[in-house]
Structure 1
Amino acid sequence: MLRHLTNRHIFLFVTLAADPESAHAIASMQNAKNLLPSDSFPKGTFLCRGAVSKETVRKMFEKYPFGNTETRILSECCLLSGSARHPNDEDLAKVETFARVMYQHLKDQ
């Protein structure tokens, strides 16, 4: 879908369970950028921690059966990341600020 964007006013907003400043989050944003058309570059990016859906957790446990090392690691990461508490009021305030700044950026062009 990202490869087919034709509007050059692109802002990327990514949610994930990981810490937004983690290597995984940074790599996720870079992967999203890599999916854009070759002549596009995002005018702004925003990473926000989000909750892991019950469906995603269910799929993880189907893929990695109980007792499997990967299952333990994945479940601990989900629990320890605190993702279930996100997005919270602070996250929402940050994204609101991001959206306002990006909107102003568009108006000023």
Structure 2
Amino acid sequence: MKTIVLYSSRTGNTKKVAQAVAGALPAGTPCLPVAEAPSDIEAYDLVFLGYWVDRGTANAEAKQFLEGLRPHHVALFATLGADPKSAHAQQSLDEGARILPEGTDVVGTFICQGAVDPKIIEMMYKQFPAGHPHGRTPERDARHAEAAKHPDEADLKEAAEFAAAVLQRLEGGGQ
């Protein structure tokens, strides 16, 4: 099965996850930024596509790519500053999948926490007053501090296991 890993990364979080995904796939599997995607993307049987969550969906660069992606099988992975087990995280994956053209087969999804770009944090704190859901609070500061620890080794291991399971399932070795 011809496979490729593509990603869009602002802070390096999604790139780290993409590399973990690629490391679990057959040797020589390309792992590239979306901007460097080959023009013959339709030649791949399986595309792993990673993005960083921006406003509850794929970031603009990844979104544009997803809109035009037409391979048979796509596995999505993402990073976000919020709790990866939250409803927001699941909605962010669902929104990413909704971007894909009709008929695209989403064969798996994975999401993990990642550090938030300090420039985004600063912008949000300037834009939103205290008391606003995105304004500065001790709880929000604590969430950003926790997110800054990710993706960690456990996250990367889970990403690799996700990739191996998707490939095994598609090749007929698992349910």
The interval holding the TM-score normalised by the smaller chain is 0.7 to 0.9
Q: Which runs of 5+ in 2 are unaligned?
A: 1-63
Question: Residue 103 of structure 1 aligns to a residue in which SS?
Answer: helix
Alpha-carbon distance between aligned partners in 1 of 2:96 and 2:147, rounded to the nearest angstrom: 21
Residue number in structure 2 paired with 1:99: 163
* RMSD of Structure 2 on Structure 1 (CA): 2.1
1:105 maps to amino acid: R
More strand by share: 2
Asked if structure 2 preserves the Cα contact closer than 8 Å seen for 1:15 and 1:49, the reply is: yes
Query: 1:89 & 1:43 partners in 2: Cα distance?
Result: 24
Q: Whole-Å Cα distance in 1 between the matches of residues 96 and 75 of structure 2?
A: 11
Q: The residue matched to 1:86 in structure 2 has which SS?
A: coil
* Higher share in helix: 1
Secondary structure of 2:106 counterpart: coil
Shift of residue 78, structure 1, vs aligned partner: 4.8
Secondary structure of the corresponding residue to residue 78 of structure 2: strand
Structure number with greater CO (CA < 8 Å, separation at least 6) is: 1
Query: Size of the alignment, in residue pairs?
Result: 106
Shift of 1:80: 2.9
Q: Corresponding residue for 2:143?
A: 80
Q: State the distance in 2 between where 1:55 and 1:35 align.
A: 27
Q: Which runs of 5+ in 1 are unaligned?
A: none
Rounded to whole Å, the distance in 2 between the matches of 1:62 and 1:94 is 35
Relative to structure 2, which stretch is displaced further, 92-101 or 53-62? 53-62
Alignment TM-score, normalising by the size of structure 1:
0.82
The Cα offsets for residues 54-75 of structure 1, whole Å up to 9 and x where unpaired, read as 12112212322xx5322125x7
* Mapping 1:2-21, distance limit 5 Å: 2-21=66-85
CA contact (8 A) 1:13 1:47 kept: yes
